[in-house]
């Protein structure tokens, strides 16, 4: 029996029980009657421990806040959240994914943060028609490239998107050589490649690419090597706790004032306060800046701060927009989210006009078409300097749907 049939029978039984109807063969529930009954199940696979814990919490908080603000229901139905800590473990990803799909029978699967886990999940999702997966962070190019599928959507970015304009920026600022440094896994490898490609368009060249095992933070020997190589600048991707450690070590090694540091904006995002002076003044490129002057952003930041006593960041924006997408889709099908093809149709043509990052639209490969901003850390915030790339669309190489 397919999951859909099972859910429908469950709804019908529920309808009969609550209305006193006897389930007779002539009883054909309307879509609305079906949709009004059982809770919609939203599975969440995100990191709540380790170097990316801050990211997982920011996404979860803001997604739930968005849905709560809309009355805590989707398409009129209540919601059951089932959250699993990904532990940032790629080996555990298939087991965690299958648990949410087969045991919990979720209608939507929200996750992950980590590109390696995203690729593992996408391989499973691509073999199935349901549930619908929404990626609220992981940038794995493959997920909206060769692994793209009708039931996989992303509300965040591809690794190429924020990194490529960062490389262009280094050239525009007059640099000719750089060293790239990151973790050796999907996100790090893809972001460094995109940064080098962007830098190359200005005639710039990387003289050394350094990759550390994920989530290793033993930077000392690598910083000594960078000091000896004396490149014009450094292009780095780290995030969460690892980014704070890298920024602090970079400053402590005496490199901050000698060799300017650049990168996709994750390097300084959400860690401005923890990194303190080590983050101050660093310019990066990302699809968000704290002081973007739009009404949705002002309200979002005030609400987030009031609810969680912390500043909102790009990860919470992605969670918030995931909530918006879920709400939009569930409302459009009158709560009947088991009508997967209809939900997919809505999501494919969705525009998110009220995003704190500014308006964005879904590409044919199911990835946001969005502005990439140039920002600089000042007073513990990401201050907008301008638009680095307007309405940037990922090339989606290898996606058969695009
Ligand atoms: C990823 O693994 O795709 C990833 C993780 C953290 C980020 C950005 C991308 O900040």
pLDDT in tens, 337-391: 999 999 999 999 988 889 999 999 999 999 999 999 999 999 999 999 999 999 9
377: DSSP letter: E
Average pLDDT across the chain, whole number: 92
pLDDT at 131 over 50: yes
**Distance between CA atoms of 138 and 40, rounded to whole angstroms?**
24
Q: What is the mean pLDDT of residues 131-151?
A: 98
What is the average per-residue pLDDT within 47-56? 98
Pocket lining: 189 vs ligand 1, CB cutoff 6 Å? no
Percent of the chain scoring above 70 in pLDDT: 91
187 lines ligand 1 (CB under 6 A): yes
Closest ligand 1 atom, residue 239 Cα: 10
Q: Is the CB of 113 inside a 6 Å radius of any atom of ligand 1?
A: yes
Tokens encoding 295: 């009404």
Domains located in the chain, CATH noted = 3-157+292-369 (3.40.50.2300), 160-286 (3.40.50.2300)
Cα(298) to ligand 1 centroid in Å equals: 25
CA of 150 to the centre of ligand 1 (A): 23
Query: 154 CB under 6 A from ligand 1?
Result: no
Q: What does pTM read for this prediction?
A: 0.92
pLDDT at 392 over 70: yes
Checking if the pLDDT of 56 tops 50, the result is yes
Question: Which run of H or of E encompasses 299?
Answer: helix 295-308
Give residue 390's pLDDT. 98
* Residues 6+ away with beta carbon under 8 Å from 283: 169, 173, 260, 262, 374, 375, 376, 385
- pLDDT, residue 71, reads 97
| Nearest in space to 237 (alpha carbons), one of 215, 278, 266 | 266
Confidence at residue 376, expressed as pLDDT on a 0 to 100 scale:
98
Residue 26: is its pLDDT beyond 70? Answer: no
CA of 246 to the centre of ligand 1 (A): 15
- The Å distance, Cα 145 to ligand 1 centre, comes to 17
Nearest CA to ligand 1 atom 6: 239
Whether ligand 1 lies within 6 angstroms of the CB of 139 is answered as: yes
What is the per-residue pLDDT across 268-297, written as a single tens digit (0 to 9) for each?
Answer: 999 999 999 999 999 999 999 999 999 999
Crossing angle of helices 53-69 and 240-252, in 10° steps, is 130
Residue 37's pLDDT band (boundaries 50, 70, 90)?
A: confident
Q: Contact, 117 vs 136, CB < 8 A?
A: no
């Amino acid at each position: 029996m397919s999951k859909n049939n099972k859910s429908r029978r469950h709804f019908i039984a529920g309808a009969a029980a609550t209305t006193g109807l006897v389930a007779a063969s002539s009883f054909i529930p309307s879509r609305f009657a079906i949709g009004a009954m059982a809770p919609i199940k939203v599975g969440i696979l995100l990191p709540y421990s380790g170097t990316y814990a801050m990211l997982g919490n920011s996404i979860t908080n803001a997604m739930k806040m968005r849905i709560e603000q809309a009355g805590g229901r989707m398409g009129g139905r209540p919601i059951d959240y089932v959250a699993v800590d990904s532990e940032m473990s790629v080996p555990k990803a298939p087991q965690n994914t299958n648990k949410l799909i087969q045991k919990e029978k979720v209608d939507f699967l929200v996750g992950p943060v980590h590109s390696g886990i995203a690729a593992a999940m996408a391989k499973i999702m691509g073999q199935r028609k349901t549930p619908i997966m929404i990626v609220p962070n992981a940038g794995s190019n493959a997920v909206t490239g060769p692994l793209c599928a009708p039931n996989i959507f992303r509300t965040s970015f591809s690794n190429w998107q924020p990194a490529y304009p960062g490389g262009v920026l280094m050239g525009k600022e007059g640099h000719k050589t750089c060293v790239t440094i990151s973790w050796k896994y999907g996100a790090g490898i893809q972001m460094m490649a995109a940064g080098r490609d962007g830098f190359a368009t200005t005639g710039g060249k990387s003289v050394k690419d350094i990759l550390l095992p994920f989530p290793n933070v033993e930077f000392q020997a690598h910083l000594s090597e960078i000091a000896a190589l004396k490149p014009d600048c450094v292009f780095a991707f780290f995030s969460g706790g690892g980014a704070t450690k890298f920024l602090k070590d970079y400053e402590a090694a005496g490199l901050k004032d000698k060799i300017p540091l650049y990168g996709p904006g994750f390097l300084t995002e959400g860690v401005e306060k923890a990194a303190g002076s080590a983050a101050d003044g660093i310019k990066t490129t990302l699809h968000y800046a704290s002081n973007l002057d739009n009404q949705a952003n002002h309200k979002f930041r005030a609400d987030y701060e009031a609810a969680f006593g912390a500043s909102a960041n790009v990860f919470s924006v992605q969670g918030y927009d995931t909530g918006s997408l879920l709400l939009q889709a569930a409302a459009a099908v009158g709560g009947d989210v088991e009508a997967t093809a209809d939900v997919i149709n809505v999501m494919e043509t969705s525009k998110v006009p009220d995003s704190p990052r500014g308006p964005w639209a879904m590409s044919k490969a199911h990835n946001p078409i969005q502005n990439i901003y140039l920002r600089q850390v000042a007073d513990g915030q990401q201050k907008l300097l301008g638009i680095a790339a307007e309405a940037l669309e990922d090339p989606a190489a290898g996606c058969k749907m695009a």
